[in-house]
Structure 1
């Protein structure tokens, strides 16, 4: 592989970043690491999260990447600035300013541990400034589970109903919301359901901006994607392969052990 873009997370959602990178930059090589041995990132305290994410960054640096993408919103908000990396490292953070520029009020959707964290509150205040009252951090963990479970593929009517009810409740509580940030890498998998339920909402995917920032740093290769997965007794590599298969993703995942 020639100076690949390295992408990692502890779960399935980060593959949406791989897919977008591969679509927008088809000649770039990509190393994709699913760190299932450390799943879930979002449930870890700051010290533990910094330890496991730093280990993954150090491991991926061995592939001589042009850039590393931490494709997980929770650690991107909480510890990204504390990471040390020999190459440029990027995260995915809620595109609050872009959303505020076109919306009256904005819903930032993420997992419970992220939207309730003090780091998220500080990030939103810093991004929104005097417009902070126009931002609503919303727990979207039930929607994330639709992706982790595969329900959004195999129980489509159920998924459509759950997404519709979620958005109906959100808009009933905050009727001026007209933009939503998909601040979990799982949520872009549900984009079509969002658009059908409430087509008037503007949807913002944090990864799209990151791809544009990585582009000038990356170099052409053969367009290959190398899949790597860590595992433990609770989250074996075979389970992750099955999850990818359910999504129709044909990618060989090679088990690895990080120091």
Structure 2
């Protein structure tokens, strides 16, 4: 008769798991990093804020620099590129991916959530940056008129307009919203020219006749141009960056979803992938991003 073997209790991130050691296959639940995806370098502004707010969280970043910018591409192109990026991050073990790109959030997120995940990845999650940004603007500000600077793809999708309508319908707020399409700005950032006179000149062009109380930089590349926006907008205009907003909302998301949070790796490990040229991406990053990033090469398949 086999001796009685007591179950083993493990404590993991505040939750308790009971395993019976009668099986040789007994293992602890595997902890995973989150994925952060962007068309290029802009998502680093979101990732930086997440790292500051949740410093222990392990992350894998993927910038699709080879196909940047997304903001001037068609819906189908953006969808296919984004889906390939999400699949890559899933292949790296990420249970959750943040689309830290407004164009991807506007053009690809809903289709991925509604059509791809239920069939291919029912246990994975993909979230975007537009909904949490709009929630913040409605809930945490008292402005009457908001201008959104964004890529042509984000503007044409009307996703910001739809999200504002949906959230405002649940509140007593009245906010006037207008959008400004800004072709060319992402290219300047990707080229490492954020501090150039050309960047100042182009931002000045898009800021002409701005009349809002608040300006949202609705592309995660645009915080690298924050100095120029503040220089060219009226002094009274409040400028909002998405990184801190998304990081705060993501922390709230994890509190509301312990079934995800409890299985996230929290060793502070950070890995960076790019589909672009490693030397060129490293050179561009070094011009505006504090700290050295060791980029790894990623190849995406549709």
TM-score for both structures, normalised by structure 1: 0.81
1:133-144 aligned within 5 A: 134-144=176-186
| 1:57/1:102 CA distance change after superposition, 3 Å | same
- Consecutive unaligned residues of structure 1, counting only runs of 5 or more, are none
- Select the structure that is richer in helix: 1
Q: Which has the larger radius of gyration?
A: 2
- Per-residue Cα deviation, 1:140-184 (whole angstroms, up to 9, x for no partner): 33544442333333x3x66556545643x233xxx3x11111110
Q: Partner residue of 1:37?
A: 66
Shift of 1:69: 0.8
Distance (whole Å) between structure 2 residues aligned to residue 79 and residue 178 of structure 1: 30
Note if 1:240 corresponds to 2:281: yes
1:112-134: CA deviations, max 9, x gaps?
23213355554454445597871
1:93 aligns with 2:138: no
Residues 141 and 102 from structure 1, CA distance in 2 versus in 1: closer, same or farther, beyond 3 angstroms?
A: farther
Match of 2:152 in 1: 112
For structure 2, the residue ranges without an aligned partner over 5 or more in a row are: 1-29, 255-259
Residue 17 of structure 2 aligns with which residue?
none
Equivalent residues of 1:21, 1:211 under 8 A apart: yes
**CA distance, structure 2, for counterparts of residue 36 and residue 161 of structure 1:** 24
Segment of structure 1 superposing worse, 77-86 or 215-224:
215-224
Correspondence 1:180 to 2:209: no
Query: Secondary structure in 2 aligned to 1:107?
Result: strand
Structure 1 residue 135 displacement after superposition = 0.6
Select which of 209, 214, 217 maps to 1:170. 209
Structure 1 vs Structure 2 CA RMSD: 2.9
Would you say how many aligned residue pairs link Structure 1 and Structure 2? 248
- Give the Cα–Cα distance (whole angstroms) in 1 for the partners of residues 215 and 194 of structure 2: 19
**Shift of the alpha carbon at 1:111?**
1.2
The correspondence for 2:271, drawn from 208, 226, 232, is 226
Distance 1:56 1:75, change over 3 A: same
Greater relative contact order, per chain length (Cα 8 Å cut-off, separation 6+): 1
Whether contact under 8 Å (2:69, 2:187) holds in the other structure is no
SS of 1:223's equivalent in the other structure is: coil
